């Protein structure tokens, strides 16, 4: 998985680079966590038969064909080299095996330190740095191992459009995502609150779309307390999978949000109480090496039973978060009646969110310099990354490890 890298020489390194795994592994070792407190899961490439449960034959073949090329691009920012197909199959295989081990009770929980990430990869397309959808593969592996219901919580700053697409009509897999959205102006543009699933899957896609950047611990924990946890409790999954992107972390150049390592620790601890502790954390995004390493380390500490004191956290959500959560509660209460009292209480406290207030928020400058739709419509997260770390006067032309488980 370290051999998957962008070979074309460019002025700035690609944000999804091998150093991401190295940084997390070094942080876990420095904390005395790995390998002393964790058990390694033997690596295995996912089989074509397993991938066909998630992706189309054409998609699988297109990824496989990259083995015969020095380098190639699925989109302007989603690269591959001769090792990428193997890396993607190893990542998916590790996630599948960890899910099976957890459901079978052979391990308590696990952290999949894998790349390339997966939650943007849909049935037919690779995009957003993602080749195969690791979380989707893991969810189906969990079901084959005996899980009747699977919960996927995606806290990556970008909406997991691929995961939502794959399970859009499936009521046995509940997908909950917290992400920057900004009325569709933040990559990939999907994940509005009204996207609730289709057919039998209505109500089993839950989107919490932040209206701005700069969102921090208080807003995330508030959303967990009011939306995520009540629905998770009602759903009663046999295993919880976290699509753990750390690009909403403070200092991330793409996410421009403000979640701290403590915030990630809190969210993990809250989810550890669901599914009888059967929890699989899968690395997705996160591009500030210091942020992802410290955040991932705090998450693994929770898996090892070193979580924070939940009683000590008192949240003070922002007005924008109150508005977003109210919107989600209003939509989702028809599918999850347990949300009704919370929605009524919020409405009583703050009143209806007026259209004038919404218009005022749209006029404000977005924290973190959130972009308009021009860059995600080109299929590129990297374009924003390069603009942030090295502004240019001239436009550039863009071409079209292992898993571990707590014993």
Catalytic positions are 120
User: For residue 112, with 0-12 CB atoms within 10 Å meaning exposed, 13-18 middle and 19 or more buried, which class applies?
Assistant: buried
How far are the Cα atoms of 92, 96, 166, 167 from residue 56, in angstroms, in the given order? Answer: 15, 18, 11, 14
User: For residue 304, with 0-12 CB atoms within 10 Å meaning exposed, 13-18 middle and 19 or more buried, which class applies?
Assistant: middle
Lateral strand order in the sheet of 173-180: 39-41, 402-406, 109-113, 279-283, 239-244, 150-154, 173-180, 205-210
> Which residue matches tokens 């999850």?
336
Is the bond into 251 cis (omega within 30 degrees of 0)? no
Name the E strands within 49-108.
71-75, 78-81
Instruction: Give dist(CA 221, CA 376) in Å, integer.
Output: 28
CA angle 178, 281, 228 (to 5 degrees): 35
Cα of 378 vs its chain's centroid, Å: 21
Instruction: Give dist(CA 193, CA 175) in Å, integer.
Output: 13
Instruction: Give dist(CA 7, CA 4) in Å, integer.
Output: 9
Instruction: Give dist(CA 346, CA 348) in Å, integer.
Output: 5
């Amino acid at each position: 998985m370290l051999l998957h890298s962008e070979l074309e020489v460019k002025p700035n390194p690609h944000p999804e680079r091998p150093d991401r795994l190295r940084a997390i592994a070094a942080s876990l070792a420095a904390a005395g966590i790995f390998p002393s407190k964790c058990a390694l899961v033997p690596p295995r490439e996912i089989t074509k038969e397993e991938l066909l449960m998630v992706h189309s034959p054409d998609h699988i073949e297109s990824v496989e064909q990259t083995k015969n090329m020095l380098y190639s691009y699925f989109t302007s920012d989603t690269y591959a080299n001769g090792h990428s197909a193997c890396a993607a199959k190893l990542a998916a295989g590790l996630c599948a095996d960890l899910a099976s081990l957890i459901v079978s009770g052979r391990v308590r929980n696990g952290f999949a330190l894998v790349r390339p990430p997966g939650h943007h990869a849909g049935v037919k397309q690779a995009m957003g740095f993602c080749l195969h959808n690791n979380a989707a593969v893991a969810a189906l592996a969990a079901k084959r191992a005996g899980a009747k219901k699977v919960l996927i919580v995606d806290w990556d700053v970008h909406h997991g459009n691929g995961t939502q697409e794959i399970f859009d009509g499936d009521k046995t897999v509940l997908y909950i995502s917290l992400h920057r959205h900004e009325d569709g102006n933040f990559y990939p543009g999907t994940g509005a609150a009204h996207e609730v699933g289709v057919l039998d899957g209505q109500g089993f896609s839950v989107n919490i779309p932040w209206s701005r950047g700069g969102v921090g611990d208080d807003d995330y924990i508030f959303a967990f307390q009011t939306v995520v946890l009540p629905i998770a409790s009602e759903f009663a999954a046999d295993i919880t999978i976290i699509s753990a992107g750390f690009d909403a972390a403070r200092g991330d150049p793409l996410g421009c949000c403000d979640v701290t390592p403590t915030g990630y620790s809190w969210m993990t601890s809250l989810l550890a109480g669901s599914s009888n502790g059967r929890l699989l954390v899968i690395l997705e995004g996160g591009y500030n090496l210091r942020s992802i390493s410290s955040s991932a380390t705090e998450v693994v500490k929770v898996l090892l039973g070193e979580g924070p004191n939940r009683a000590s956290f008192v949240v003070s959500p922002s007005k924008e978060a109150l508005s977003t959560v109210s919107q989600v509660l209003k939509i989702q209460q028809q599918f999850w009646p347990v949300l009704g009292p919370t929605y009524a209480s919020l409405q009583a406290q703050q009143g209806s969110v007026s259209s004038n207030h919404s218009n005022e928020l749209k006029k404000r400058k977005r924290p973190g310099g959130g972009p308009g739709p021009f860059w995600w419509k080109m299929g590129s997260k990297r374009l924003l990354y390069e603009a942030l770390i090295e502004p240019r006067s001239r436009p550039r032309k863009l071409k079209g490890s292992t898993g571990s488980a707590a014993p």
